Amino acid sequence: MNNRRRIVGVVTSNKMTKTVVVEITRKFRHPLYRKVVHTSKRVKAHDEIGCQIGDEVQIV
């Protein structure tokens, strides 16, 4: 059961009922140019406990 992928992100919006928007940022080195690149993705997640903006959460 612990084989699930866990993604860590920061809550950016909690205006919906029992749903939060989590921003997941990732940085990696570009394979050709070797520069560090930052990308971010915003996903919606279910929220039972009432997270606030700025909280760091794990998505399973």
Question: Average of pLDDT values for 11-16?
Answer: 97
pLDDT (tens digit per residue) in 18-46: 999 999 999 999 999 999 999 999 999 99
pTM: 0.84
Cα 15 from Cα 53, distance rounded (Å): 10
Q: What is the CA radius of gyration of the chain?
A: 14
Q: Give the domains, in start order, of the chain with CATH numbers.
A: 7-59 (2.40.50.140)
pLDDT exceeds cutoff 90 at 3: no
pLDDT category at 1 given cuts 50, 70, 90 is low
Which strands sit side by side in the sheet containing 19-29, from one edge to the other? 36-46, 19-29, 7-16, 56-59
DSSP string, 1-60: -TTS--EEEEEEEEEETTEEEEEEEEEEE-TTT--EEEEEEEEEEE-SS---TT-EEEE-
